[in-house]
Amino acid sequence: MSRALKVSHILLLLAALAVSARAQDVPAAGARPLPASAFELDGFAGQVVLVDFWASWCAPCRLSLPWLNAMQQKYGERGLQVVMVNLDHKPGAAAKMAAEIAPGIRQFEDPEGVLAAQYELEGMPSSYLYDREGKLIASHIGFLKTEREPREDELAAALNRKEP
C-alpha cells in the first residue's frame, strides 16, 4: 500500500472517530433518557432538528408522539433528528408512554423544567424546528391531526434546503 493511500486511510479513520465521538454526546434512540443538563443543540450539528417538549399527562402529546416517531423513521436517513424532552415529575409514566408510542426518538428528561424555562414554553406540546446550521426556523404550540401534513411539508422543506 502506498504512503499516500495509508495517510488517506488514517484520515478517514480519524474523521469517522470524530463523528462517532460526537454522536455519543447524545442519547441513541430507544436509550434511557438523559437529563436536560446534557442537552446541547450543537450535538446535532449538520442535522435538521425538531425539539419537542411533552408530558405523559398531555392529551395532544398522545397525538403528536406517534407522528414524530413516523417522521423520524421517514426522514432520519435524510438528516432529520427528532428530540423529545419530557417534563414529567415521575419518569416511570413518561418512559412507558415513550416506549409504546415513540420508541425511535432520542429523549431527555426535564422534570425541573430547566429547558422548558429556557424555551419559555407557553403550552404543551411545544416544538421547535432548527435547520442544519442550528437556526430556529419554526415553532408550534399544541398539536392537531389537521396539522400533520403542513408540518411534514415544513420538515421536508427544511431537509431540502441546500447549505450555504
Query: Quick one: which of 114, 107, 84 has its CA closest to 33?
Result: 107
Please give the tally of structural domains in the chain: 1
CATH code assigned at 105: 3.40.30.10
State the catalytic residue, choosing from 36, 50, 61, 68.
61
pLDDT tens digits along 120-131:
999 999 999 999
Range of the domain at 143: 27-160
Q: What are phi and psi of 140, to 5 degrees?
A: -145, 145
> Mind giving me the DSSP string for 2-46?
-HHHHHHHHHHHHHHHHHHHHHTTSPPTTSPPEEGGG--GGGGTT
Give the pLDDT of residue 163.
Answer: 61
Average pLDDT over residues 117-146: 96
3-state secondary structure of 146: helix
Residue 103 covered by a domain = yes
Give the pLDDT of residue 30.
Answer: 54
Residue 16 covered by a domain = no
Give the pLDDT of residue 74.
Answer: 96
Number of neighbours of residue 51 by Cβ within 10 angstroms:
22
pLDDT tens digits along 14-70:
333 333 333 334 445 556 788 999 999 999 999 999 999 999 999 999 999 999 999
Give the pLDDT of residue 13.
Answer: 35
- Per the CB < 8 A criterion, the answer to whether 50 and 127 are in contact is yes
Residue 78 covered by a domain = yes
- Per the CB < 8 A criterion, the answer to whether 139 and 53 are in contact is no
Residue 9 covered by a domain = no
Confidence of residue 7 (pLDDT cuts 50, 70, 90): very low
- Is residue 106 part of the annotated active site? The answer reads no
Query: Quick one: which of 141, 142, 138 has its CA closest to 154?
Result: 138
Which amino acid is residue 40, in one-letter code? E
Residue 71 covered by a domain = yes
DSSP state of 47: S
State the catalytic residue, choosing from 29, 49, 58, 85.
58
- Is residue 58 part of the annotated active site? The answer reads yes
Residue 112 covered by a domain = yes
Residue 66 covered by a domain = yes
Residue 5 covered by a domain = no
